[in-house]
């Protein structure tokens, strides 16, 4: 799919992986709407790239419907959706006193990372399904969600995070199969450890230790590397119903 001139929605576009993907999409000529709860970040990226920042909590049914309508009024129907909004909850299932930790905590990770991505995908794909295809392959658009290598190697404390990201991977294939009749592709990127505020807010020793655990290149991944894979997935029509790990061969240890 040729990105130039298309409308794109990037959730979590106010920071990290989403922000850099928004920049690279804009550099390729896309009209980009950034959906985020972090308006400071979203406004900054929007003004940098000539995009549109829309305050939106991806877990809200009405909020996402309204944000997609606003993006559509400004840019036309989005053909590209990048689900990069997310949180990384970390808590053991049983605390040090032997009590089960809060159910709300587990739920929050599932709600934002999984239900939020489904919410945006379903509403954006419904709009895409109604408009004309854009090329000889009869493509109407693409949805890319952001999982994690914690799908397969979740560490102690990552029950909610890993379950939410595995859920994303799980829904990707049925979605890709359902949307074949509309020419909408669905893919997932599972990053390893990336240098974004999600990680740079952790103590420096933790970041250094994570970076050293990556076999090659021995460092954290960059937002540029994530964004370039997202761009390639959009441009390469044959990548569909697929999850690609982007991790420098990292396999996370138990803790
Ligand atoms: N950084 C990593 O190492 C790494 C590794 C694997 C997966 N990921 C995933 O990549 C995605 C992007 O993470 P990042 O590293 O860029 O983190 P980040 O914290 O820099 O950005 C995440 C963005 O999502 C937004 N967000 C959070 N909750 C939201 C909600 N309810 N509605 C709308 N926006 C919301 C935040 O405000 C923020 O702007 C996340 O899904 C994360 O789980 C990151």
Indicate the pTM of the whole model: 0.98
Domain assignment of residue 127, yes or no:
yes
| pLDDT over 90 at 208, yes or no | no
Q: Is 248 in the pocket of ligand 1 (CB under 6 A)?
A: no
Domain assignment of residue 254, yes or no:
no
Nearest atom, ligand 1, residue 38 CA:
37
Domain assignment of residue 208, yes or no:
no
- What distance in Å separates the CA atoms of residue 148 and residue 169, rounded to the nearest whole number? 9
∠ CA 79-42-170, rounded to 5°: 50
Confidence label for 187 from pLDDT (cuts 50, 70 and 90): very high
Question: What distance in angstroms lies between residue 84's CA and the mean position of ligand 1's atoms?
Answer: 6
Q: In CATH, what number is assigned to the domain containing residue 152?
A: 3.40.50.720
Domain assignment of residue 159, yes or no:
yes
Please answer whether residues 207 and 220 qualify as being in contact, where contact means their C-beta atoms are separated by less than 8 angstroms. yes
Nearest atom, ligand 1, residue 193 CA:
3
Domain assignment of residue 213, yes or no:
no
| pLDDT over 90 at 209, yes or no | no
Alpha helices in the chain (DSSP H): 16-27, 39-49, 61-75, 103-109, 116-129, 150-153, 159-178, 197-200, 204-212, 223-235
Q: Which residues are catalytic?
A: 161
| pLDDT over 90 at 205, yes or no | no
Confidence label for 249 from pLDDT (cuts 50, 70 and 90): very high
Question: Of the residues 12, 71, 188, which should be mutated to test ligand 1's pocket, given the most ligand atoms within 8 Å of the CB?
Answer: 12
pLDDT of res. 127: 98
For residue 230 the two structure tokens come to: 């997202």
Confidence label for 129 from pLDDT (cuts 50, 70 and 90): very high
Using CB atoms within 10 A of its CB, is residue 170 exposed (0-12), middle (13-18) or buried (19+)? middle
Confidence label for 202 from pLDDT (cuts 50, 70 and 90): confident
Q: What is the pLDDT of residues 43-72, one digit of tens each?
A: 999 999 999 999 999 999 999 999 999 999
Q: pLDDT above 70 covers what percent of the chain?
A: 100
Confidence label for 123 from pLDDT (cuts 50, 70 and 90): very high
Place of tokens 């799980």: 170
Question: Of the residues 42, 86, 152, which should be mutated to test ligand 1's pocket, given the most ligand atoms within 8 Å of the CB?
Answer: 86
| Closest residue by CA, ligand 1 atom 16 | 16
For residue 20 the two structure tokens come to: 């850099």
Q: Is 188 in the pocket of ligand 1 (CB under 6 A)?
A: no
Question: Of the residues 58, 61, 85, which should be mutated to test ligand 1's pocket, given the most ligand atoms within 8 Å of the CB?
Answer: 85
Confidence label for 42 from pLDDT (cuts 50, 70 and 90): very high
Number of separate domains in the chain = 1
The whole-number average pLDDT for the span 227-248 is: 98
| Structural domain harbouring 168 | 7-194+222-246
Question: What distance in angstroms lies between residue 174's CA and the mean position of ligand 1's atoms?
Answer: 24
Domain assignment of residue 122, yes or no:
yes
pLDDT of res. 125: 98
Q: pLDDT above 90 covers what percent of the chain?
A: 94
């Amino acid at each position: 799919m040729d990105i130039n001139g298309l409308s794109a929605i990037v959730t979590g576009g106010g920071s990290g992986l989403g922000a850099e993907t928004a920049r690279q999409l804009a550099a390729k000529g896309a009209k980009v709407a950034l959906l985020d709860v972090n308006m400071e970040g979203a406004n900054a990226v929007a003004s940098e790239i000539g995009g549109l920042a829309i305050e939106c909590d991806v877990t809200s049914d009405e909020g996402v419907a309204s944000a997609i309508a606003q993006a559509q009024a400004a840019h036309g129907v989005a053909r590209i959706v990048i689900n990069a909004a997310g949180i990384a909850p970390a808590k053991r299932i049983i605390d040090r006193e032997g009590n089960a930790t809060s159910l709300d905590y587990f739920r929050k990770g599932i709600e934002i990372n999984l239900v939020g991505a489904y919410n945006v995908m379903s509403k954006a794909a419904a709009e895409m399904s109604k408009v004309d295809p854009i090329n000889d392959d009869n493509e109407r658009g693409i949805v890319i969600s952001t999982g994690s290598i914690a799908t397969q190697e979740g560490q102690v404390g990552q029950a909610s995070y890993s379950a939410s990201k595995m859920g994303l991977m799980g829904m990707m294939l049925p979605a890709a199969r359902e949307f074949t009749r509309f020419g909408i592709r669905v893919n997932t990127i599972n990053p390893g450890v990336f240098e974004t505020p999600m990680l740079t807010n952790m103590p420096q020793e933790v970041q250094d230790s994570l970076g050293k655990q990556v076999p090659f290149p021995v460092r954290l991944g960059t937002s540029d590397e994530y964004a370039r894979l997202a761009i390639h997935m959009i441009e390469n029509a044959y990548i569909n119903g697929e999850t690609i790990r982007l991790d420098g061969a990292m396999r996370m240890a138990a803790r």
